[in-house]
Every structure is written in structure tokens, then in C-alpha cells.
Structure 1
Amino acid sequence: MPPATSGASAEPSPGALTSPSPVAAAPTDTAAPDLRHLPGSRGLRRTQLALFGAGLATFLLLYSTQALLPALSASLRLTPGQASLTVSAAAIGLALAVIPVSALSERYGRTAVMTASVFAAAAIALVLPFAPDLTTLTVLRALQGIALAGLPATAMAYLAEEVHPTALASAMGLYVAGNSIGGMSGRLVSGMVAGSFGWRWGLASVAILSLLCAVAFRVLIPRARHFRPGPINPAALLRTVTSHLRNPLLGRLFALGLLFMTVFGAVYTVMGYRLVAAPFGLSQGLASSIFAVYVVGTFASAVSARVTGRLGRRGTLYLAIGTTSAGLLLTLPASLPLALLGLVLITAGFFTGHCVASASVGRTATHGRAQASALYLAAYYLGNSLGGTLGADAYHSAGWPGTVLVALTAMVLAAGVTLYGTVHARAASARLLPTAR
């Protein structure tokens, strides 16, 4: 679900938001032969397939309950807000754990942390279908989010250390593709299976798929040849994190990630409820098919770099905010074609804004880029949790217009953050002009 380069990420991917340190990006001994995986090599193919499977498993699991929320509400007699906790808990767990887990990978190795992460998350997934109530299910999902934090925190570092620069873009692209396909297929598979056999079987189907992906990852991943373990220094980590939080530009980028993801979490958490209710009355399986709209994110991410080249970073953010807001307004009428068109615009706007903000984090941070990207990731998934919970509660109280109001409020705040950045940049330029003259 880097930092991602604009145009690379098609899924809100944590792997696409975590940058390795510059030191880790290349072997330190310049006299030694470069043994990193070259284009076309067997090692590169294994690396790509292994991390594709890891990305697939991550997002299969992270959003496995999102398409099941209406079924969970009916089975366990939950409000939309209560059911949405099963999505929010995993996002919060991942957000809180990503920084400390990334530090563990510096000590114990990328491969070891990724392996432990994917198998622990898959093992928890096998238990989820037997959860007797909401409390148990929510606690298990939080633990699953914590377990999953080991993958986005280390996958990009592993690629940068083990893959030759000439093959790095393609390797990262395939990993991000696994994120995107996992995010879409996890929702589709669980929702469609649940439509025929119930939500427990929907979760079981995702658990089995994720376990197969975990096994494939472990069998295929090549042994790390360039990782050099280092000590964990909590004090230094805290200093780096604090310095990033005090950076005004980084703070605005973190806020944008949170606000865009608030919209995405609210809309995709609640849309299933809206489609199974009157006046649409779709089945659980058919309602879950809306997640196929995710493919729009692939296109939006692919063109976002070109759009940014023409409009600039802030211009592209304004476009993303406007597109998302227009999509939200289109979903208000009780029309299925308009609702789907609105969802397309919301998805395109979200991915465009996310790509710009996440890529800007890596360019803005002058040190500790991995920690800066991890902070963005933490804000991003807190936004997912916040949006899902607030959007579901608003739907329970005021229907779909309530959810739209929550999402539009987030976009107004995002526009304010961007406008502040624009004014600040112009003021800084004006101060420099007399010096230039």
C-alpha cells in the first residue's frame, strides 16, 4: 500500500512510503565487486516475485474486513461505527508499530523481520474466523496491524540494498503492484465469498491466500548479501523523529496524508453499507465489487508525475482536492451511475494527492529519510482509522450525507494546509528577491 515516487504507487502502500537510508542503498566497499541483482538475473526475478507476494499478503490482510462490514453488522448486531473498528484497529496497530519495527530491521535484518511479520500476520488471520464477538475480533485485528508493520518498514530497504540501481525501478514497481492487487483482491475475495457463505468464510479465504503468499515469499526471497547490522539507538531515533515533527513543511505533508486518507477511509468503509441499503439494495457480493474501482488508482498514480511536472506540487494538490470533492458531491443523489462516477473521481483524486505528498516527504527530508517516510505512513494510517470511524458514525447518525460531510471537511482542511504552504512559499520568495537584486 516509498518514499514513493509520483507515478509509482497505485495502492496506498506503506512499502511505497518507507525509504532506506542513503548508506544502505549501496555496498560500502567500493573495491569489492557489485553483487547486487542485475536486470534479467535469476536473483532479481526471485526477489521481485518474493516481494510481490509479500505486498500481496500485506494488503490482502490489512483491509480484509472492509468489504465485510455490512455482513458483520448483520451477524453480530453492530452499528457501522462498531463494525468499522475492525478496519481501524489494524490501521492503528500498523501506524503505531512502523517506526519501532523499522528500527528492529536495522539490528536483526530485513529478511528476518519481513519473514516474521508476514507469517505472524497470516497466523492471526487463521484465527480471525473463530472470533466470537467484536472485542475479540478488534483486538486480533490490532495485533495483526502490528505484525504487518514489519513489511512496509523494511521491504524498500531490502530492495535498495540488494538490487542493482539499473533494476531498482522495475523491482519497486512490481512490489507496489503487489500492494495494489492485494488491496483490491482482498476486498473482492472476502466480500464475494461472504456473500455466499458468510463473513467467517470470507475471512478464512483471505487467511489461506495470505498464508500461501507468505510461504512463497520465504521460499523465493534470496539471502541478503549487503545488509550490515547496526545497534538500535533509541535516543538517536527519538532525536530524528522530533526534528522531523518540528519541520513545518514535513508537518504539512504529514497532515495532507492524514486528510486524504480520512476521505478514503470514510468512503470505502461506508460505501458498502449504502449500496446494500435502499434504494440500491445490492447483494453483499455485488456491493463488494465496487472495490474494482481501485484500478483507477493505477492510472492516476501513473500520470501524477506528468501532472506535477506541468502544474507543480501545489497545483497538483489543488487538482486532487478539487477532483476528490467533486466526486463526493456526485455521490449524494440516489443514483447508482452517479455514485460509481463519484467513486472513480474520489479514487483518482485520492491517489494523486497521496502520490504528491508521499514523494515530497523524501525530497524534503535532508536526513533520516526512512523515519520521515515512516512518520508519513503513521499519519496516513491514522487518517484511515479516523476516517473509517468518523465516516461510519456519521452514516449511522445522518446517512450518506453525513459521511460526505466528514470527507468534505477533510478536503477543506487539506485545501487550507495547501493554501498556507502557497502563501508561505510566496512570502519566502518575496523576501529573497531584494537579495537577488
Structure 2
Amino acid sequence: MGERQSEASDGLQAGTAAFQRANLALALAGFSCFSLLYGTQPVLPQLTSEFAVSPGEASLSVAAGTAAMAFLLIPLSLLADRYGRERAMKAGLVGAALFALLSALAPSFLALLLCRAALGACIAAVPAAAMAYLGEEIAPDARGRAMGLYIAANALGGMSGRVVSGLLTEWFGWRYGLAALGLVSVLCAFSLWRLLPPARHFVPRSLQPRLLLADVRQIYADPGLPWLFMVAFLIMGSFVGIYNYLGFRLSLEPYHLGPAAIGAVFLLYAVGSVSSAWAGHLADRLGRRRIMLIMSGAMIGGIAITLASPLWLIVLGLAVFTFGYFATHAVASSWVGRRARERRGLVSALYLSSYYLGGSTLGSAVGWPWTHAGWPGVVGTLVVCIGLVVALALYLGRVGES
């Protein structure tokens, strides 16, 4: 009885059964969402062949989902504020699993894009509600570890979805890869429905446009937040762009790598789980501006290394780039949280919208330099993008870190 009273007043305490169920449910939800969102990335060469589309057009199978997610994060976060976090997450995950299975059956490229866009729209309901649920339902002294597990599950899902999709495409075809991810997501959705403890601290928020517009005006009047949103746009766009088109490069001579080998490249995501935690700790000691400058410099260095011909150097360059990317994202995210103050929920939604919009637009736009100038064109474009991040870090240092 005492434990339940404590959980009701302070939130779910670390070590309790309810805390463990909540962590597992949300970890599975995050894993599922990000395995689905990028499931087509390692099979883009196969999509170009089957549907007779260009590499840039094939990359729209990734962009359709991330764009829908970017545009709907804010409205779905507001609906979750009004009608409940649990409803949003459960409905979103079930819908995403359904459209993942339908995308494996798509008879045309247009049908595939529509399914991927619908999948992204459903996924938008999950991160829009999951972080708010963690903030409200988990005890304050346990929120850090709960949030860390959720973010780690997101990264693991993104990596696993790409690897599984690539392996099954190599053995059976891309449709089987997407179908397998859909079936795993059905199981994750079932687990979320069964495991997630009911919310005890949720208070419905008003959807009055006047109050919302006042908050948005305050956010964009801040001297730092809009530029941090731009950082998110640029780094995510560069990240999706390099992983989208490196697959095409490695499928050509002299490498001739298959989908399984290209999918295995995404194991480098494991580097991100190390760099994000390390960078966050270091930023607290040395300052966010300094660490963002160092890590964005590492991204530029990594991109440049991929100009080399030996495969091991290309993989090394991608590892350095990935290390710098996850670290920069961690620093920018914490910087946003520090500047957001009482408008944290809306600010986080705006940051994530910019982040995924960069992945969908800039990530696909890199197809133009790939088509017209090959890999050097991709490298030049991405160096310019990250160079802008360096300039923004220098500016942000002048406006202060809080």
C-alpha cells in the first residue's frame, strides 16, 4: 500500500514492478518506431531496380515517413496533451505496424510512398507522447535512467531495422525485410498495450489557439532556440544524406556490396550510444559551445575521409562522422532543454520537427549532387551543411548557454 501511495504522489520509483513495466513498454515502442522509420534505407538500390526510379526518387521512401513525422509531431503532441499520452502511443504504434505490413505488399512505387507516409504519421504520435509520459509518471530521481533507456532503444531500433531489412533482402527480397519489421512491430504494439501502467499524473491541457500562438512567439523571440532548431535540421539532413547515398556508392564497382553488407554498415550506430553519453557529460564540464564545435569538426573530418577509395577508410570515416553526429545531437538537445524553461514540451516538439524535416528534405536533396557529381559532390554538399553548424555554434556561444 505504501509503495502504491508513493508512486501515485511522486511517480514510479526505480526498482518497482510498475517502473520496470513502463520502461520495457516504452523501450519496445521506441525500438519499433525507429526500426520501421528507416527500414527502406539499406534497400534503396533494390527499389530503384524494381520500380525503375532514380536514386533520388528511391530515397523518398525514407523521406515520406520522416516528413510526415516532422509535420505531425507538433499537432499530435498537442492532441496528446489534451486527450492522453497512452491513447496516442497505443493508437500510433498499432497504425505504424499496419502500414509497415501494407508497405511490404505495395504494388507500385506510389503505393509504397503512401504507405511510408502513413507509417510516419502514425509514428509521430509516439515520441510526441512518450517523453511527456516519462516526465510525468516517473519519479524525479529515476527519470534520467528511464529517458536514457528510451533513447538507447530508439537508436537500437534504428540500427536493427536497417540491419534486419538488409539481411532479409539479401536472402529473400526487400518485401520480406519490410514484412518482418512489420511483424516485430505488431508484437511491440501488443506489449505496449499489455505492459504500460495507466497514467496517474496526466492533466489535460487547453488547445486554445491564442495561448499556443503566444508560446510560439516567445519561443521564436529567444535569441538561441531558432538557431538550435536549424542545427537539428542540418545535422539530421546530413546524417540521412550520407547513409542514403553511401549505399549506392558501395553497391557499385569496385565494391559491389549486397544489401546485407550495406545493412551491416548501420552497426556503426553503436558508436552513437557511446558518443552521446560522453558528449553530454563533457558538455556539462567544458561548455556546450566548445563540445559542439569539436564534434561538428569531427563530422567534417569523417565526411572528408570517405573520399578515400579503400573500403576500410570509408568505414572509418563513416564511424568518425557518426560519432560526431550523435554527440552534436546530444549537445544540441540538452542546450534546447536548458533554454526552453517552462515551455519545454512545445520547444521539444519544434526541435524534433526541425530534426526530422531536415532528414526528409535535405537527406533526399543530396541525391542531386550524387547524380551530377558522384560522391565528391555529396561530400562537398555535406561539408557546407556542417560548416554552417560550426558557424551556428560560434554564434550560440555569444548569446549564452542558458
TM-score by length of 2: 0.95
Say whether residues 1:209 and 2:205 are aligned partners: no
**Conserved? CA contact 1:106–1:230, under 8 Å:** yes
Residue number in structure 2 paired with 1:349: 324
Letter in 2 for 1:201: Y
Show CA shifts across 1:338-390 (max 9, x none): 10000011001101111111111111123311111111101111111123212
* Superposition deviation, residue 147 in structure 1: 1.0
Letter in 2 for 1:94: M
* Superposition deviation, residue 256 in structure 1: 0.8
* Superposition deviation, residue 248 in structure 1: 2.3
Say whether residues 1:119 and 2:94 are aligned partners: yes
Task: Count matched residues.
Answer: 397
Say whether residues 1:59 and 2:23 are aligned partners: no
- Measured in 2, the distance between the counterparts of 1:306 and 1:230 equals 34
Residue number in structure 1 paired with 2:169: 194
Answer 1 or 2: which has greater helix percent.
Answer: 2
Letter in 2 for 1:202: G
**Conserved? CA contact 1:390–1:406, under 8 Å:** no
Show CA shifts across 1:69-121 (max 9, x none): 11111111121100000111111111110111011112211101110110011
Residue number in structure 2 paired with 1:397: 372
* Superposition deviation, residue 326 in structure 1: 0.5
* Superposition deviation, residue 127 in structure 1: 0.5
* Partner SS, residue 232 of structure 1: coil
* Superposition deviation, residue 409 in structure 1: 1.0
- Measured in 2, the distance between the counterparts of 1:89 and 1:328 equals 25
Where do 5+ consecutive residues of structure 2 fail to align?
none
1:66-81 paired onto structure 2 within 5 Å: 66-81=41-56
Residue number in structure 1 paired with 2:220: 245
* Superposition deviation, residue 159 in structure 1: 1.4
Higher relative contact order (CA 8 A, sep 6+): 1
Structure 1 residues 74, 187: CA separation in 2 closer, same or farther (over 3 Å shift)?
same
Say whether residues 1:143 and 2:87 are aligned partners: no
Residue number in structure 2 paired with 1:321: 296
Show CA shifts across 1:143-201 (max 9, x none): 21111111111111111221112222222222112111101000000111011111111
* Superposition deviation, residue 398 in structure 1: 1.4
1:341-380 paired onto structure 2 within 5 Å: 341-380=316-355
Residue number in structure 1 paired with 2:394: 419
Residue number in structure 2 paired with 1:130: 105
- Measured in 2, the distance between the counterparts of 1:304 and 1:122 equals 34
Show CA shifts across 1:281-306 (max 9, x none): 11111111000000000110121023
TM-score by length of 1: 0.88
1:302-321 paired onto structure 2 within 5 Å: 302-321=277-296
Show CA shifts across 1:308-329 (max 9, x none): 1343111111101110000011
Match of 1:167 among 142, 151, 154: 142
Match of 1:39 among 1, 5, 14: 14
- Measured in 2, the distance between the counterparts of 1:213 and 1:106 equals 23
**Conserved? CA contact 2:100–2:178, under 8 Å:** yes
- Measured in 1, the distance between the counterparts of 2:220 and 2:108 equals 38
Say whether residues 1:262 and 2:237 are aligned partners: yes
Say whether residues 1:182 and 2:157 are aligned partners: yes
Structure 1 residues 31, 400: CA separation in 2 closer, same or farther (over 3 Å shift)?
closer
Letter in 2 for 1:247: D
Say whether residues 1:154 and 2:129 are aligned partners: yes
* Partner SS, residue 103 of structure 1: helix
CA RMSD of aligned residues (A): 1.8
**Conserved? CA contact 1:261–1:384, under 8 Å:** yes
**Conserved? CA contact 1:60–1:183, under 8 Å:** yes
Deviates more, 1:152-161 or 1:295-304: 152-161
* Partner SS, residue 210 of structure 1: helix
* Superposition deviation, residue 333 in structure 1: 1.5
Letter in 1 for 2:297: G
* Superposition deviation, residue 395 in structure 1: 1.3
**Conserved? CA contact 1:270–1:388, under 8 Å:** no
**Conserved? CA contact 1:80–1:393, under 8 Å:** no
* Partner SS, residue 363 of structure 2: helix
Residue number in structure 1 paired with 2:67: 92
- Measured in 1, the distance between the counterparts of 2:262 and 2:360 equals 22
Deviates more, 1:137-146 or 1:413-422: 413-422
Say whether residues 1:50 and 2:37 are aligned partners: no
Show CA shifts across 1:197-238 (max 9, x none): 111111111111111111111111111122122332233122
- Measured in 1, the distance between the counterparts of 2:10 and 2:214 equals 34
* Superposition deviation, residue 274 in structure 1: 1.1
Letter in 2 for 1:119: V
Residue number in structure 1 paired with 2:204: 229
**Conserved? CA contact 2:77–2:125, under 8 Å:** yes
Residue number in structure 2 paired with 1:4: none
* Partner SS, residue 127 of structure 2: coil
**Conserved? CA contact 2:45–2:55, under 8 Å:** yes
- Measured in 2, the distance between the counterparts of 1:424 and 1:289 equals 41
- Measured in 1, the distance between the counterparts of 2:83 and 2:397 equals 43
Structure 1 residues 425, 222: CA separation in 2 closer, same or farther (over 3 Å shift)?
closer
* Partner SS, residue 151 of structure 1: helix
